[in-house]
Amino acid sequence: MTEDEFWRLIAASRDHFDPARRDGNMAHQVERMEQLLGALPTSEVNRFLLIFRDQFWRAYRRDLWAAAYIIAAGCSDDGFTDFRNWLISMGRDVFTRALADPESLVSVARAPGVEDVFFEEFGYVADSVLEERGEEPGDEADRPLPSEPLGEKWSERELPRRFPQLWSAFGTK
């Protein structure tokens, strides 16, 4: 599986996203992702998981944590894990734009049909598919984890200045 194929699977899992639906889009995406991965050989599911984890760690950045903090009026360590799962679940364009400019998430987080910016379940889909097969993730998925997020540390009082669009849309004054 290539990175392009990975992102095509993510996009396919969102095929039936309904902006008019207030809830249920996330559950449907998990179900669809399970179907898509379930149709692949175990080696490809492991490769998907490896690419997922690579993207997950690419997003381990303080500026994205600040964005999650502003959007959700707070964001713990676990919350930031779930936020990065959500960010990947939104697809390549949203993910890439957010890495380039976290303020691009203003319109994404407010878009119709977006239930939440925390998506814990999406981070477990590949593991669940492997578990159903009696398999465990391949050794190549076990990589050293970064000890801290990349980027400049921030304090809450700096957020309105550093992320004015996000703060204007979601911040508390």
Look at residue 40 and tell me if it is in a domain.
yes
- pLDDT confidence of 138, banded at 50, 70, 90? low
Among the ranges given (49-53, 92-96, 115-119, 135-139), the one the predictor scored with the smallest mean pLDDT: 135-139
Which has the closest alpha carbon to 122: 101, 91, 150? 91
- State yes or no: pLDDT of 146 exceeds 90: no
**Which residue type is seen at 69?**
Y
**Higher-confidence residue: 82 or 143?**
82
Look at residue 144 and tell me if it is in a domain.
no
Backbone phi, then psi, for 136, in 5-degree steps?
Answer: -120, 155
**Higher-confidence residue: 140 or 137?**
137
- State yes or no: pLDDT of 153 exceeds 70: yes
- State yes or no: pLDDT of 3 exceeds 90: yes
User: In DSSP terms, which residues pair with 61 in a beta bridge?
Assistant: 150
- pLDDT confidence of 151, banded at 50, 70, 90? very high
Rounded Cα distance, 14 and 9, in Å? 9
Residue 99 lies in domain: 3-138+155-170
DSSP state of 89: H
Rounded Cα distance, 128 and 38, in Å? 10
Look at residue 67 and tell me if it is in a domain.
yes
Look at residue 103 and tell me if it is in a domain.
yes
Number of domains in the chain: 1
Look at residue 150 and tell me if it is in a domain.
no
Given the structure tokens 């998981």, which residue do they identify? 49
Q: Write the DSSP string, 144-171.
A: PPPSS-BS----GGGHHHHSHHHHHHH-
Residue 147, pLDDT score: 84
Look at residue 119 and tell me if it is in a domain.
yes
What is the mean pLDDT of the segment spanning 54-78?
Answer: 96
Residue 136, pLDDT score: 80
Look at residue 145 and tell me if it is in a domain.
no
What is the mean pLDDT of the segment spanning 52-81?
Answer: 96
Q: What is the pLDDT of residues 67-116, one digit of tens each?
A: 999 999 999 999 999 999 999 999 999 999 999 999 999 999 999 999 99
Look at residue 60 and tell me if it is in a domain.
yes
Average pLDDT, the chain: 93
Residue 140, pLDDT score: 57
Residue 101, pLDDT score: 97
Residue 167, pLDDT score: 96
